[in-house]
Every structure is written in structure tokens, then in C-alpha cells.
Copies of this chain bind each other. A is one copy, B any other.
Amino acid sequence: MPNQNPDLHGNVPDKAGAALLLIDVLNDLEFEGGDRLLESALSMARALARLKRRARAVGLPVVYVNDNFGKWRSDFRQQLDHCLHDDVRGRPVVELLVPDDEDYFVLKPKNSGFYHTTLPLLLEYLEVHTVILTGIATDNCVLYTASDAYMRDLRLLVPEDCAAAIDPGRHEAALEQMRATLKVDTTPSGDLDLDALARVPREGVEQSVR
């Protein structure tokens, strides 16, 4: 019944050229290697919190794309509560990146944020041509989400200070992999001109990187 009208545009106010995606940042880091990841994840979280504030200020939609860690019945509020209130390794990371009411949330069951999720449809309704992809881990869910975004002809930015991996070498290798095969721009977040990204059409997006 609800879908007799396919035009959902009126309900999606945040039309914007670009969107900020945060991959698996609501994360307790309670897995093998999580201890080695903590330091770079914290550094990432600080840069990402700043980038998110700037994105919000210029009207870019913010989308949390998060694993449910195998708990099919849970929603992201439970995941958020767990990360904030249980004594977990990832708590300081999550405290820096608590979602705002205006943010979107997509539950992903596998590595790529596009696989069996509403993300493709959400980005289409937002009329996004560029995705700023951030989060954990650079060489896994970030890379494989980037691959799916590229196949959908989205332009990709992965600011090198806004993603993290267990091993610094693998972080660098994944950035290089994305630059070489997915045309990813890895300019650090501080050098991105978000005003330009919010404004420019697809053709002019190159000018948005100083």
C-alpha cells in the first residue's frame, strides 16, 4: 500500500551533489587486531569529527553505513548504546562520532555498503554524484564499498586521514589500490573545499580539491 507513489523525492530534503559516508565507525573494536587498530582509529575519529562538522555546515548529508556484527535483529541504536555504555575498546572512537538526528543510517550485512542495503537507492534519491568515503578498515569495507560506488559511476574521495586499518602498510596499499583502479582522490580532509563540493555539478568536481 505505502508505495503506490514511487516519488519519494519530497521526503528526502537533503538534495546535494555530495554525501559523507562513515563506514563501520560505530565499532567496539573487540576483535583480533582491534588493539593495534585503536590508535589510528582515534586519530581518524578526530579528523573525521571535524570533517563531519564542516559537511553539516555546508548542507552535505551524512550517512552512517554500519555493520550489525551478525546480530540481525539489532538496530543501530542498540549498536550505539553498546559502544557508548559497555566497557569496550572502541568507546573513545564512537564518542567522537555520535550520530546527529539529521544523519541517515544504513545497516549493512557484509563488507560493501552497497550489498543488499538501501544505500544505492538513498544515494540516488539524494542525487549524489560524489561520495566522501571514510571509516574502518581502509583495506576492507572502505575499499570494497569504493569498488561498488565506482561501478555506479560515483566520484570518490577517500581523505587519507579519515580512514584506518590495523596495519599502516595495508592502509597505504589500499589507498594506492583505490587511486590506481577506482580514480579515488585521497587528498587529506583539511585540504578539501567542501563549499565547492556542495555546489558544483559532476563535471566541475575536480576544481573542489585545492
Q: Are A147 and B111 in contact (CB under 8 A)?
A: yes
Q: Within 8 Å CB of A67, what residues of B? A: 1-3
A57 at the interface (CB under 8 A from B): no
Closest partner residue, chain B, to A167 (CB atom): B180
CA–CA, A107 to B116, complex, Å? 12
Given contacts A73-B104, A73-B105, A153-B6, is CB(A117)–CB(B115) below 8 Å? no
The contact of A12 among B10, B72, B116, B174, by CB within 8 Å, is B72
Given contacts A2-B141, A117-B116, is CB(A111)–CB(B12) below 8 Å? no
CA–CA, A125 to B152, complex, Å? 11
Q: Are B103 and A73 in contact (CB under 8 A)?
A: yes
In chain A, residues 142-166, which have Cβ atoms closer than 8 Å to a Cβ of chain B?
143-144, 147, 150-151, 153, 166
Q: Within 8 Å CB of A8, what residues of B? A: 70, 72, 109
Closest partner residue, chain B, to A6 (CB atom): B153
Which of A42-50, A132-140, A188-196 is the contact stretch?
A132-140
Taking residues whose C-beta sits less than 8 angstroms from the other chain, chain A's interface range is 35 or more
A102 at the interface (CB under 8 A from B): yes
The contact of A75 among B6, B34, B77, by CB within 8 Å, is B77
A88 at the interface (CB under 8 A from B): no
Seen from chain A, the residues whose Cβ lies within 8 Å of a Cβ on chain B are 1-4, 6-8, 10-12, 24, 27, 31, 34, 37, 67, 69-73, 75-77, 101-105, 107, 109-112, 115-118, 120-122, 125, 136-137, 139-141, 143-144, 147, 150-151, 153, 166, 170, 173-174, 176-177, 180-181
Name 24 A/B residue pairs within 8 A (Cβ), A-sorted.
A1-B24, A1-B27, A1-B31, A1-B141, A2-B24, A3-B141, A3-B151, A4-B140, A6-B110, A11-B71, A12-B72, A72-B104, A75-B75, A75-B77, A75-B105, A107-B118, A109-B118, A109-B121, A110-B121, A111-B150, A115-B151, A139-B181, A140-B181, A174-B177
Question: What are the 6 closest A-B residue pairs judged by CB atoms, nearest first?
Answer: A11-B70, A2-B67, A3-B111, A110-B151, A1-B137, A8-B70
